[in-house]
Amino acid sequence: MKEFEDLDFCKVDIDREKRTGYPEVIYGEGKSVENISQIMGKLIDHHGKVMVTRLSQEKADLLTKEYPLAAYDATSRILSYGGPERRYAGEVMVLCAGTSDLFVGEEAALTAEWMGCSVKRVYDVGVAGIDRLLAHREEITKASVLIVVAGMEGALPSVVGGMVRRPVIAVPTSVGYGAHLEGLTPLLSMLTSCASGMSVVNIDNGFGAAYQASLILQLASEGEKDE
């Protein structure tokens, strides 16, 4: 049985949903509208749904003409078509340190929702105003998985990590300047965090964090219970 469909310029991985739980997601940057459209077609045929990330407004305008059922969100730059058949129990919380990090926070939030998670957003709770964060302490300790997005020095995940008994996925952002090194500084900083139970994804990779968060809720939903 065929596991992928060979378009001229790429191999669409139609077996992926069976293998990993989710259909392939299209990374929009650097792909032409024609190519995206073709891959979208194949994926909609096979799975009835598709998501495109890092898509510019211009490309999105052309694609939504072709696929009127697709919805585009300008903050996260995500185009989505269709959605989850079910919703996992539990909740993914997306925390954002600053208002400039929202584009990453929303990429994470929309991805997690499209993959079947309930998402709670807690934004603009950078550590330099610790009371704004503490005001949400109760909610924070109730989340199942936490995605913590931060630019600048990237300190938020460490503080959150020490408050909860759930997995924390940290996302550094490219928001900052000078010694921030386009995100490399918070990336490295998060990796050396003194908080346990925390892992890190690439700079601005809200999608990747949400993807892993969804896999975690999927696992929990499928029931690995104490025997």
Site for its own copies in 34-53 (CB under 8 A): 35
Site string for its own copies, 107-136 (x = CB under 8 A): ----------------xxxxxxxxxx-xx-
In the complex, least distance from residue 113 CB atom to its own copies, rounded to whole angstroms = 16
In the complex, least distance from residue 155 CB atom to its own copies, rounded to whole angstroms = 3
In the complex, least distance from residue 202 CB atom to its own copies, rounded to whole angstroms = 4
33 touching its own copies, by CB under 8 A: no
162 touching its own copies, by CB under 8 A: yes
Separation between Cα atoms, residue 156 and residue 193, nearest integer Å: 10
In the complex, least distance from residue 213 CB atom to its own copies, rounded to whole angstroms = 9
66 touching its own copies, by CB under 8 A: no
**What is the per-residue DSSP string for 99-116?**
GGGHHHHHHHHHHHHHTT
Task: Name every residue whose Cβ is closer than 8 Å to that of residue 97 and which is 6 or more positions away in sequence.
Answer: 124, 125, 126, 127, 148, 149, 150, 151, 152, 154, 155, 156
Site string for its own copies, 179-218 (x = CB under 8 A): xxxxxxxxxxxxxxxxxxxxxxxxxxx-xxx-xx--xxxx
In the complex, least distance from residue 82 CB atom to its own copies, rounded to whole angstroms = 18
> Residue 72: which of 33, 117, 121, 21 has the closest Cα?
33
Separation between Cα atoms, residue 190 and residue 103, nearest integer Å: 19
Residue 112 half-sphere exposure, CB side, CA atoms within 13 Å? 32
Region near its own copies per CB under 8 A, out of 12-20, 44-52, 61-69, 76-84 = 12-20
Region near its own copies per CB under 8 A, out of 43-51, 55-63, 64-72, 84-92 = 84-92
